[in-house]
Amino acid sequence: MGKQITITLDQLKNFIEQPDRNKSIMLESAIKPLNVTFNRSIFTHHNDTKKIKTKAELQVLIAKGGRSHRPARPRPADPYNNEYLTMKINHMHEIRPHVLENYGFLQGTKLKIEGLSLVLKTQPIMKKGVNYLEIHERNRSVLKLTFLRAWQNIINNMVNALANEAKSL
């Protein structure tokens, strides 16, 4: 369990003296697993949905992973909102969630660093007067599920990024 690195006392001193840089390195290392999870693992079919209602619930699921960093599985979600699914199929002719040809959920979600925070934001994408993102995110907790599924890879990337930084000083 864990990762061991060998560094000098000078390298350790230099590493400890740059807390803001270390936080920034950790945030940057989280972007790749979040993007990969969002693009490849979120809702590949309509039955692959989970409901995570609150931020507190997300924190509990992550904490249940303990030292393994494998979070607990959320409970199965309610079925897709029928109104949303009907509009999506009728107007977009798309039955696979979030993989839309020229517009859709993937194109409306941005991942970026703001100060010392990592932020996932959805932007409304309108089609025939319907805000599909708003309807979908309200019912599916998409961003929370993305973070939950990527959690173990985020932790691994952060540890590796910090280890590499400490060794490079």
pLDDT tier at 124 (50, 70, 90 boundaries)? Answer: low
Q: Where in the chain are the domains?
A: 9-168
Whether residue 166 has pLDDT greater than 70: yes
Contacts by residues 71-74 (CB-CB < 8 Å, ≥ 24 positions apart): 71/148, 71/151, 71/152, 74/50, 74/145, 74/148
- At residue 98, the pLDDT reads 58
Query: How far, in Å, CA of 90 to CA of 83, rounded?
Result: 11
Query: How far, in Å, CA of 149 to CA of 42, rounded?
Result: 9
Average pLDDT score over residue span 39-44 = 75
Calculate helix-pair angle for 9-16, 142-168, nearest 10 degrees: 140
What is the percentage of the chain residues whose pLDDT exceeds 90?
36
Q: Taking the model in full, what pTM does it have?
A: 0.78
List the structure tokens of 153.
């890879």
Tokens 């999870």 locate to: 37
Most confident of 114-118, 136-140, 147-151: 147-151
Write down the mean pLDDT value for the chain: 82
- At residue 90, the pLDDT reads 80
pLDDT tier at 126 (50, 70, 90 boundaries)? Answer: low
pLDDT tens column, 58-113: 999 999 998 888 999 998 877 777 777 787 778 777 666 655 444 556 667 788 88
